Amino acid sequence: MHEAAIALAVVREAEKLAKTLGTKPKLVEVVVGELQSIDLEVLGEYIRMNLREALPGVEYKITTEPPVLRCEQCGYEWRLDMNTLDPDVKEAIHFLPEALHAYVKCPVCGSRDLTVVRGREIRVRVHG
């Protein structure tokens, strides 16, 4: 359950950002890249539990960010629809993100020399 560890890191980051603001935030926004393949319900529950102790009364919102890839051969950028991938492929990418190159190729030139532009990270924002 790496969602528990991620939730704890999210709440700690929210605490740091709140200190930077100098005021208690009203909302913690968590943007999860779809390549993370995280169970959002489980993550939300862990965030709620940790947030209740760290920043009582603060709400949270989780949104997802689709992966955007760029071909290093031809420069084409596109949004990868994770729903088009086989579940086994999604699981392989979840455990080994570099496996993406074995399963996905540029729709224009067919190269597997790809860079993940967005959709792999987790970002935390606080709103006052």
Residue 38: what residue type? Answer: I
Rounded to whole angstroms, how far apart are CA atoms 33 and 90?
A: 13
Q: What is the pLDDT of residue 1?
A: 57
pLDDT of residue 40: 95
- In angstroms, the CA 68 to CA 78 distance is 5
Q: Counting beta carbons within 10 angstroms of the beta carbon of residue 83, is it exposed (0 to 12), middle (13 to 18) or buried (19 or more)?
A: exposed
Nearest to 28 by CA among 48, 45, 42: 48
Round to whole Å and give the CA distance between 108 and 99. 20
Q: Which domains does the chain have, with CATH numbers?
A: 2-65+119-127 (3.30.2320.50), 68-117 (no CATH)
Going residue by residue through the chain, which has 128 residues, state the pLDDT in tens, using 9 for 90 and above: 589 999 999 999 999 999 998 888 999 999 999 988 889 999 999 999 999 999 999 999 999 999 999 999 999 999 999 989 999 998 888 888 889 999 999 999 999 999 999 998 999 999 98
**Entry pTM:** 0.84
Maximum separation of any 2 CA atoms in the chain, in Å: 52
Q: And the tokens for 124?
A: 């935390």
